[in-house]
Amino acid sequence: MANVFAFVETRGTDVRKVGLEAVTAARMLADKSGGGEVHALLLGPSGIAAKAPQIGQYGADVVIVVEHAGLANYSPEVATATAADRMKSGGYRAAIFSTSAQGRDLAPRVAARLGVSIVTDVLSFEIDGDSIVVRHPMNIGKVIATIAIAAKPAVLAMRPNVIAPAQNAKAGRVENAQPAIDPASARVKVIETRQGGGGKLDLAEAPVVIAGGRGLKAAENFKLVEDLAAAFGNAAVGATRAVTDDGWRPHSDQIGQTGRLVSPQLYIAVGISGAVQHLAGMRTSNTIVAVNKDKDAPIFKVADYGIVGDVFEVIPALTEAVREAKKHH
Amino acid sequence: MKIAVCVKRVPDMDVRFRIGADNVSVDQAGLKFDINDFDAWAVEAALQLKDKNAGSEVTVISLGPDVVQETIRKALSMGADRGIHIKADKVPFDGLAIAKALSAELKTGGYDLILFGKMSPDSSNGVVGPMAAELLGLPCVTAISSLEIANGKGTAKRELEGAQEIVEFPLPAVLTVDEGLNAARLPSLKGIMAAKKKPLEVKPAALTEPQVTVRKLELPAERKAGRIVGEGAAAVPELVRLLQTEAKVL
């Protein structure tokens, strides 16, 4: 029986889905260890405290709320100091972070401050005696490592989308706390968070990802992909490296680059032939659909369902059909 | 400016990997090695700053066995000034152990800027840069895709999921480099010749006991072979039916 710490990722006053995933993962780990408590750190600007009950719903026994007007943007130094101080005093068996842009920034700093190592991009975990044993993709997902973490606390950054947020209501006792350092004193300052670049939903979090490749022939034809994403309503738009290198889409949209792996429920590849890098970035998606005019394209080897055909005919038809299907739900 | 860049020698990823006989390493036979792409972009960023700031010096540091000297020489041939090889039999998976060994060297250098690639594709952990920053007590910005430095202050951009952050930081600082910051220059013939004469110091690595250890490597399960539903727009109704009734994702 051991307590587990969870870092709840936020953007502004929104709790991000990966934040709920971290709480869910911490709950699973605490329960596997024989029923410890989950203590979740919720850090953000004025208004973030209103999200504390939701964190309890997802399995936190204690929600440490740190609300400060100076936290409208992510502050790496405030988040590091506040998480590390709490972890030092809490005697936790493990700490769960997210392998998101923010989590990749934060979790290693916190671990280093505690003098413990860390594994990021964790796919699954189990307790094995004194160690926590995790699975972690290496070599762009072409090799899977089983890694034993002897450090206490064991610091794990979960890969987005591998653990679905699950309601499992606990007390969610709120403890209000101050940031460990004054946000105004931080040396590194995020002066602006610009929304945009990519679809309306985050690639890492979206249950559906529609990705476009060179088969779309021109930047403006990404409209087809965006329309299909809009028809789903819960889809993000991604792109291949070829397309982002050509400047059709921002680099942040790229799937298959080292470290930008997606695992949505449904992945639709539009005009993507399936370069090795790209396949490594999306092969763990639950269901893969590919539309490509070349029947020998490598993408069809990983696709559950393929349509051989012209994307300019197939995608508008699919968009219309998805719109119809959504109407009847 | 005094700039340090930490680089790693990594295998080309465009191959089918095999697991070694020990079950905890990748079979090295037939693999081609080069500088990690993210690290090459970090070297390029350092060289661009050197070009703009007369009197600057770029030091390239790599931890690992003797073969990493090839990687250091590659960076020297691009235009870096000197190399430091932190000698270790092998590179452990444990990012904290690596960060400790590198920071022991970095803290003696009086660097204005310390650059890392944001991650390496082989271990895919992406933690050494920010851990080293923390051990050194320096300001740190990770995964930058733009960089401006003027009057001892820096501004960088970070790509988030569906957003960007604009970040300001003072020097000295540690930065880790994402794709999109620049395109790495290729070594010129002159650069390759010059690199042979540039200083390359060798020092032993002080690696601590690892806290995380690889127990097993395996290849991921192959996806089940899929099927072609049909050709052209005529196949759309059948696809939608399968997504609804079989995959249950619509």
pLDDT tens figures, B215-235? 999 998 888 888 999 999 999
Once rounded to an integer, what is the mean pLDDT over residues A126-146? 94
Residue A1 has pLDDT above 70, yes or no: no
Q: Is A91 on the interface with B (CB under 8 A)?
A: no
Residue A199 has pLDDT above 80, yes or no: no
Q: Is A194 on the interface with B (CB under 8 A)?
A: yes
Q: Is A266 on the interface with B (CB under 8 A)?
A: yes
Once rounded to an integer, what is the mean pLDDT over residues A242-264? 83
Number of domains within chain B: 1
pLDDT of residue A297: 95
- Per-residue pLDDT tens for A148-164? 999 999 999 999 988 99
Nearest residue in B to A117, CA atom: B96
- Per-residue pLDDT tens for B92-135? 999 999 999 999 999 999 999 999 999 999 999 999 999 999 99
| List of chain B residues whose C-beta atoms are within 8 Å of the C-beta of residue A108 | 95, 126-131, 134
Q: A125: which strand partners?
A: A134
| List of chain B residues whose C-beta atoms are within 8 Å of the C-beta of residue A77 | 139
Taking the CA atoms of chain A, what radius of gyration do you get in angstroms? 21
Dist. CA A277–CA A296, nearest whole Å: 18
Residue B237 lies in a domain: no
Residue A271 has pLDDT above 90, yes or no: yes
Nearest residue in B to A157, CA atom: B125
Nearest residue in A to B12, CA atom: A139
pLDDT of residue A198: 43
Contact A252 B160 (CB under 8 A): yes
Q: Is A322 on the interface with B (CB under 8 A)?
A: yes
Q: Where are the beta strands (DSSP E) in A92-182?
A: 94-98, 118-122, 124-128, 131-138, 143-149, 154-158, 173-177
- Per-residue pLDDT tens for B76-87? 999 999 999 999
Of A116, A188, A203, the CB nearest to B141: A188
Q: Which structural domain range is residue B165 located in?
A: 2-204
Dist. CA B156–CA A190, nearest whole Å: 9
pLDDT of residue A283: 86
Q: What number does CATH give the domain A4-185?
A: 3.40.50.620
Q: Residue B70 maps to which CATH number?
A: 3.40.50.620
Residue B248 lies in a domain: no
Once rounded to an integer, what is the mean pLDDT over residues A294-300? 95
3-state helix, strand, coil in chain B (%, to 5): 25, 30, 40
| CATH classification number, A208-327, choose in 3.40.190.10, 3.20.20.70, 3.40.50.2000, 3.40.50.1220 | 3.40.50.1220
Strands A154-158 and A38-44: unpaired
* A259-268, B31-40, B68-77, B196-205: the lowest-pLDDT one: A259-268
Which residue has 């680099």 as its token pair? Answer: A251
pLDDT bucket at B240, cuts 50 / 70 / 90: very high
Most distant pair of Cα atoms in chain A: their distance? 61
Of chain A, the end-to-end C-alpha distance in Å amounts to 44
Q: A9: which strand partners?
A: none
Taking the CA atoms of chain B, what radius of gyration do you get in angstroms? 22
Backbone angles phi, psi at A73, to 5 degrees: -105, 160
- Contact by Cβ (8 Å): B6, B116: yes
Nearest residue in B to A262, CA atom: B161
Query: Cα B202–B207–B213 angle (5° rounding)?
Result: 135
Contact B214 A147 (CB under 8 A): yes
Dist. CA A274–CA B114, nearest whole Å: 36
Backbone angles phi, psi at B212, to 5 degrees: -130, 135
Residue B176 lies in a domain: yes
From B217's Cα to the closest Cα of chain A, the distance in A is 4
pLDDT of residue A260: 72
> What DSSP element (H or E) covers B194?
helix B189-195
Residue B171 lies in a domain: yes
Which SS3 state, helix, strand or coil, does residue A134 take? Answer: strand
Dist. CA A116–CA A166, nearest whole Å: 29
pLDDT of residue A202: 76
The one-letter amino acid code at A34 reads G
pLDDT of residue B159: 87
Domain boundaries, chain A: 4-185, 208-327
Residue A197 has pLDDT above 90, yes or no: no
- Per-residue pLDDT tens for B174-209? 999 998 899 999 999 999 999 999 999 999 999 999
Contact B239 A205 (CB under 8 A): no
Residue B246 lies in a domain: no
Q: Is A129 on the interface with B (CB under 8 A)?
A: no
DSSP B193: H
Which tokens belong to B44? 């390029």
Q: Is A205 on the interface with B (CB under 8 A)?
A: yes
Dist. CA A98–CA A93, nearest whole Å: 17
Backbone angles phi, psi at B199, to 5 degrees: -65, 140
Contact A287 B134 (CB under 8 A): no
| % of chain B beyond a pLDDT of 90 | 91
- Helices then strands, each counted (H, E), chain B: 6, 13
Q: At what angle do helices B236-245 and A311-327 cross, to 10 degrees?
A: 40
Q: Is A265 on the interface with B (CB under 8 A)?
A: yes
Once rounded to an integer, what is the mean pLDDT over residues A259-267? 84
pLDDT bucket at A328, cuts 50 / 70 / 90: confident
pLDDT of residue A52: 98
Q: B33: which strand partners?
A: B11
| List of chain B residues whose C-beta atoms are within 8 Å of the C-beta of residue A307 | 228-232, 235-236, 239
| List of chain B residues whose C-beta atoms are within 8 Å of the C-beta of residue A104 | 118, 126, 142-143
Instruction: Give the contacts of B117 (CB within 8 A, at least 6 positions apart).
Output: B7, B8, B36, B37, B38, B39, B40, B41, B42, B129, B176, B177
From A170's Cα to the closest Cα of chain B, the distance in A is 30
Dist. CA A103–CA A8, nearest whole Å: 10
Q: B193: which strand partners?
A: none
- How many CB pairs below 8 A link A and B? 300
Dist. CA A66–CA B182, nearest whole Å: 38
| List of chain B residues whose C-beta atoms are within 8 Å of the C-beta of residue A257 | 179
DSSP characters for B52-95?
HSTT-EEEEEEEESTTHHHHHHHHHHHT--EEEEEE-SS--S-H
Contact A118 B125 (CB under 8 A): yes
Residue A252 has pLDDT above 90, yes or no: no
pLDDT of residue A200: 58
Dist. CA B17–CA B28, nearest whole Å: 9
Nearest residue in A to B38, CA atom: A258
Contact B168 A109 (CB under 8 A): no
- Contact by Cβ (8 Å): B69, B82: no
Q: Is A208 on the interface with B (CB under 8 A)?
A: yes
Residue A51 has pLDDT above 70, yes or no: yes
> What DSSP element (H or E) covers B168?
strand B163-170
pLDDT of residue A29: 97
pLDDT of residue A27: 98
pLDDT of residue A329: 65
- Of B84, B208, B211, B19, which Cα lies nearest the Cα of A116? B211
pTM, to two decimals? 0.90
Contact A190 B166 (CB under 8 A): yes
Which SS3 state, helix, strand or coil, does residue A135 take? Answer: strand
| List of chain B residues whose C-beta atoms are within 8 Å of the C-beta of residue A287 | 243, 247, 249
Once rounded to an integer, what is the mean pLDDT over residues B4-13? 96
| List of chain B residues whose C-beta atoms are within 8 Å of the C-beta of residue A144 | 217-220
Q: Is A149 on the interface with B (CB under 8 A)?
A: yes
| List of chain B residues whose C-beta atoms are within 8 Å of the C-beta of residue A284 | 220
Of B167, B223, B232, the CB nearest to A314: B232
pLDDT of residue A140: 85
DSSP A226: H
Dist. CA B54–CA B175, nearest whole Å: 21
CA distances from A75 to A20, A185, A192, B157 (A): 20, 11, 11, 14
Which SS3 state, helix, strand or coil, does residue A219 take? Answer: helix
Nearest residue in A to B97, CA atom: A117
